[in-house]
């Protein structure tokens, strides 16, 4: 027995000696002292020089040792950290080692006492250096302002031999939090929005920064419509100048677009991709030839693909390294049946049609159509990029637990052969949305390597950013994600707080409790405390949103102390928007007791009018108010004034009042009595566009496609003494249809009526 044990000990000893030989430690710095130098080649690329400096700076911060940066000609014979390929790295390794290395690929290797970080000259070496700092020195760039550089006077590394390249060539979390230059380079993102000039390796660049919806930039209607209406889409028998698309089968349109693109490339020769993309609304061309093509191919994407293929064909030879990109978005999401996509064409499939962001793409029936289209596009040729939405665009600040989906969707895209992903957060409106920093971080890591352990990344981030407060915040995060694992709990990128199902009063209370605990744990650390408060913000937002509803609809007062806390966090973090359409100011106005929401109206509609010009068309209620007269409405149906009295709500729902599917224009009318001349503000929320007339004068005109959110538009007015007539006109482009109307009246001076004053 003893003998066996001795043999075991002996074996274990051998194993230890063996593993030490296998993994000899290299001491880069010992007690703050080092003989190592950083070596760059004489013709190092800008990003390699930047990376060498960052390495020098970071090692100095961690160990207090500033390593010299020298060129290969002055390099010593040993103890060298090579940054980028050079004659010396070629002699240490076979030259073939770097052959075929793409611009973002790298390897990290130890050879003897040397360390080599060598990669593609564009950004590869730089990414290698930042990967080395993370994986071997424990550094992290969690957020633009939370960076972890461990303090160690002795730096030792094991023997290393790793090689990496990104899973996706285009990687971008579209959050302002991800735009910061240091953050973006260190976390290896390379797309639109990030501050990545050539000196840090640049990025994947869309020509002239035109990123999407470029049809009218290619062929501007202001320039061509008057002489050539046939260049623009024919919609219900009429060529459309505003809010249309292009007639994509017109050969002159193709010629103009090609000429314009050549100009773009002349001005922006380094661009990688040229965006040839439909406008952000429908109204595709219905002329005979566009229609025939679309019908033959079973999708409106046919005319678009044929057009972009033709441009790519014509310019491909002259610009062999450029890609020509278009959208598969809303009405073009479905691929054409037989048309193929050119080799130098990128299809950017927009993740819009699926209607569930709670569940992973592959696990929810609501996403089946999108997944089917994705797989069909993949078979069409060209490259496939994805435009993936990762926030709630109606409520950037609302708790939106979609990490269950994100963590599986990015790997899914990788398996399906997608080459690039743009993850749209709230950056278009300045940032600060729910988990913006965490999402940016996790997405950047997933886009580089979809096989990472997402839980470990989240834990690491929370530990780094929240410190001692991390455990309760992680419990809050897990609580939400556990609830929405319920296969019945679907939500999407436009969901309202009262639609998602998980934002119950009980959950909000529990969430506040987790954060109260978290705040206590970092009470002495103002930096961490501020980050915990920012993480808490979505819970305040949701809570206050429900309180605002109760105030608007039932006159229940809002907790003003909570409003103050909300205001403070928003101000400290410079957050301007709470949704794609409305700013925080508007949200705060729904919380203010000053605004009185009008519930009772006279309404009439729907009136027929050309779809895109409903607001401009003058209809009878703008000329006369006659409650007993019949007017001609949509499809010749007679319409009359009716009373809208929604006892429990301030939202005037036109889809409820009229035929559910009618498209047209409706009016709301009420009268306000002011005991004296009174300067105040009117608040409007409308779906979609709106015009407001005060005492028969047009005072507000907003042609827009949006959800109705109270107090989105604020109008300064002076009410005259006595009765004032307010007529509100709202058009309907599709989907929901309705309005909110409020008046600032802190002193409760005003009274309201639906009766016409005599």
Report, in Å, the least distance between residue 199 CB and Zn ion.
44
Asked if 490 touches Zn ion (CB under 5 A), the answer is yes
Pairwise CA distance, residues 187 & 177, whole Å: 12
Out of 117, 196, 347, 356, point to the residue binding Zn ion (CB under 5 A). Answer: 356
**# binding residues, Zn ion (CB under 5 A):** 9
The answer to whether residue 493 forms part of the interface with Zn ion (CB under 5 A) is no
- Interface segment toward Zn ion; rule CB under 5 A; list 57-65, 70-78, 243-251, 268-276: 243-251
On whether the CB atoms of residues 603 and 641 are closer than 8 A, the answer is yes
- Choice between 239 and 596, CB closer to Zn ion: 239
Residue number, 364 or 539, with CB nearest to Zn ion: 364
- Closer of 329 and 491 to Zn ion (Cβ): 491
Q: What are 565's two structure tokens?
A: 């806390």
Give the range of 157-165, 168-176, 361-369, 713-721 binding Zn ion by CB under 5 A: 361-369
359 forms part of the interface with Zn ion (CB under 5 A): yes
Alpha-helical (H) ranges within 419-504 are 436-448, 454-466, 470-483
Task: Identify which range of 211-219, 443-451, 485-493, 750-758 contacts Zn ion by CB under 5 A.
Answer: 485-493
Q: How many residues does the chain have?
A: 758
Pick 307 or 654: Cβ nearer Zn ion: 307
User: Residue 219, interface with Zn ion (CB under 5 A)?
Assistant: no
Per CB under 5 A, which region of 192-200, 242-250, 680-688, 696-704 contacts Zn ion?
Answer: 242-250
CB 364 to Zn ion: min, Å: 3
Q: Does 544 bind Zn ion (CB under 5 A)?
A: no
Q: Applying CB under 5 A, which of residues 290, 312, 349, 743 lies at the interface with Zn ion?
A: 290
Q: Which of 55, 271, 287, 397 binds Zn ion (CB under 5 A)?
A: 287
Stretch that binds Zn ion, among 16-24, 246-254, 381-389, 420-428 (CB under 5 A): 246-254
Kindly state the smallest distance separating residue 83's Cβ from Zn ion, in Å.
47
User: CA 85, 87, 88: angle at the middle one, nearest 5?
Assistant: 85
Secondary structure class of 15 (helix, strand, coil): helix
> Residue 330: left if φ>0, alpha if ψ -120 to 50, beta else—which one?
left
Nearest CA to 203 out of 123, 261, 124 is that of 123
88/238 Cα distance (integer angstroms): 69
Q: Which residue lies nearer to Zn ion by CB, 279 or 711?
A: 279
46-63 vs 124-137: helix crossing angle, rounded to 10:
20
Task: Report how far residue 425's alpha carbon sits from residue 413's, in angstroms, rounded to the nearest whole number.
Answer: 18
Q: Give per-residue burial for 451-482: e unless 16+ CB within 10 Å, then b.
A: eeebeebbebbbbbbbbbbbbbbbebbeebbe
b/e 236-268 (16+ beta carbons within 10 angstroms → b): eeebbbebbbbbbbbeebbebbeebbeebbeee
364 forms part of the interface with Zn ion (CB under 5 A): yes
Q: Which is nearer to Zn ion, 168 or 307 (CB)?
A: 307
Decide whether 276 or 285 has the Cβ nearer to Zn ion.
285
Residue in 184, 247, 253, 532 binding Zn ion, rule: CB under 5 A: 247
CB neighbour burial string for 41-54, b if at least 16 within 10 angstroms, e if fewer: beebbbbbbbbbeb
Task: Pick the piece of the chain touching Zn ion (CB under 5 A) from 289-297, 327-335, 635-643, 649-657.
Answer: 289-297
Residue with tokens 């400290």: 572
> Minimum CB separation from Zn ion for residue 11, in Å?
54
The terminus-to-terminus CA distance of the chain in angstroms comes to 112
Q: How far is the CB of 154 from Zn ion (least distance, A)?
A: 51
User: What is the nearest approach in angstroms of Zn ion to the Cβ of residue 291?
Assistant: 7
Where does this chain bind Zn ion (CB under 5 A)? 247, 285, 287, 290, 356, 358-359, 364, 490
């Amino acid at each position: 027995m003893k003998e066996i044990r001795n043999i075991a000990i002996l074996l274990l000893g051998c194993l230890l000696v063996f593993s030490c030989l296998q993994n000899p430690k290299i001491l880069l710095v010992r007690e703050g002292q080092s003989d190592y130098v950083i070596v760059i080649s004489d013709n190092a690329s800008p990003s390699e020089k930047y990376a060498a400096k960052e390495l020098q700076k970071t090692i100095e911060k961690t160990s207090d040792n500033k390593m010299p940066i020298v060129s290969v000609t002055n390099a010593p014979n040993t103890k060298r950290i090579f940054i980028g390929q050079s004659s010396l790295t070629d002699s240490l390794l076979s030259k073939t080692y770097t052959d075929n290395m793409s611009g973002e690929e790298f390897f990290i290797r130890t050879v003897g006492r040397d360390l080599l970080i060598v990669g593609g000259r564009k950004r590869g070496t730089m990414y290698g250096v930042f990967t080395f700092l993370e994986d071997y020195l424990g550094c992290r760039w969690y957020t633009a302002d939370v960076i972890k550089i461990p303090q160690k006077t002795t730096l030792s590394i094991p023997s290393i031999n790793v090689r990496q390249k990104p899973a996706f060539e285009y990687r971008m979390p579209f959050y302002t939090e991800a735009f910061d230059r240091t953050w973006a380079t260190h976390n290896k993102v390379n797309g639109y929005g990030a501050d990545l000039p050539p000196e840090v390796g640049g990025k994947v660049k869309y020509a002239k920064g035109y990123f999407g919806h470029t049809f009218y930039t290619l062929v501007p209607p202001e320039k061509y419509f008057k002489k050539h209406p046939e260049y623009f889409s024919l919609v219900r028998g009429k060529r459309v100048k505003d809010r249309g698309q292009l007639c994509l089968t017109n050969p002159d349109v193709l010629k103009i677009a090609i000429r314009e693109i050549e100009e773009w490339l002349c001005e922006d020769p380094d661009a990688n991709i040229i965006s040839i993309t439909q406008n952000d609304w429908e109204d595709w061309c219905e002329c005979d030839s566009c229609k025939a093509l679309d019908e033959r191919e079973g999708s409106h994407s046919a005319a678009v693909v044929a057009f972009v293929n033709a441009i790519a064909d014509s310019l491909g030879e002259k610009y062999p390294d450029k890609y020509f990109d278009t959208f598969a978005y809303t009405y073009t999401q479905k691929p054409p049946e037989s048309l193929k996509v050119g080799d130098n064409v990128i299809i950017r499939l927009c993740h819009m049609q699926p209607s569930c962001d709670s569940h992973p793409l592959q696990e929810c029936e609501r996403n089946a159509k999108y997944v089917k289209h994705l797989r069909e596009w993949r078979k069409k040729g060209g490259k496939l990029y994805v435009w993936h939405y990762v926030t709630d665009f109606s409520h950037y600040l609302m708790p939106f637990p979609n990490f269950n989906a994100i963590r599986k969707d990015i790997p899914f895209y990788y398996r399906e052969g997608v080459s690039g992903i743009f993850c749209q957060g709230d950056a278009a409106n300045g940032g600060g949305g729910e988990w913006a920093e965490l999402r940016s971080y996790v997405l950047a890591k997933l886009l580089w390597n979809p096989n990472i352990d997402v839980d470990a990344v989240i834990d690491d981030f929370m530990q780094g950013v929240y410190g001692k407060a991390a455990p309760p915040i992680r419990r809050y995060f897990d609580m939400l994600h556990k609830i929405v694992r319920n296969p019945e709990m679907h939500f999407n990128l436009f969901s309202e707080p009262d639609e998602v199902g998980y934002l119950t009063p009980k959950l909000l209370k529990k969430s506040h409790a987790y954060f109260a605990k978290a705040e206590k744990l970092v009470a002495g650390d103002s930096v961490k405390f501020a980050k915990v408060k920012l993480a808490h913000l979505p819970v305040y937002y949701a809570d206050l949103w429900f309180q605002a509803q109760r105030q608007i609809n039932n006159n229940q007062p809002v907790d003003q102390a909570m409003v103050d806390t909300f205001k403070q966090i928003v101000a400290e973090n410079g957050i301007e928007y709470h949704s794609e359409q409305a700013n925080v100011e508007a949200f705060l106005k729904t919380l203010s007791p000053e605004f009185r929401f009008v519930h009772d109206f006279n309404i009439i509609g729907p009136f027929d009018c050309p779809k895109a010009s409903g607001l401009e068309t003058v209809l009878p209620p703008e000329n006369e108010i006659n409650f007993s007269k019949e007017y001609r409405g949509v499809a010749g149906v007679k319409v009359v004034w009716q009373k809208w009295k929604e006892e429990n709500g301030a939202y005037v729902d036109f889809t409820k009042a009229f035929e559910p599917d009618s498209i047209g224009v409706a009016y709301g009318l009420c009268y306000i009595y002011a005991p004296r001349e009174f300067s105040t503000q009117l608040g409007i929320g409308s779906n979609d566009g709106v015009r407001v007339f005060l005492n028969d004068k047009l005072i507000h005109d907003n042609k827009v496609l949006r959800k109705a959110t109270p107090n989105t538009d604020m109008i300064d007015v002076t009410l005259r003494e006595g009765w004032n007539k307010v007529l509100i006109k709202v058009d309907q482009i599709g989907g929901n249809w309705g309005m909110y109307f409020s008046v600032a009246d802190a002193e409760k001076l005003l009274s309201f009526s639906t009766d016409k004053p005599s």
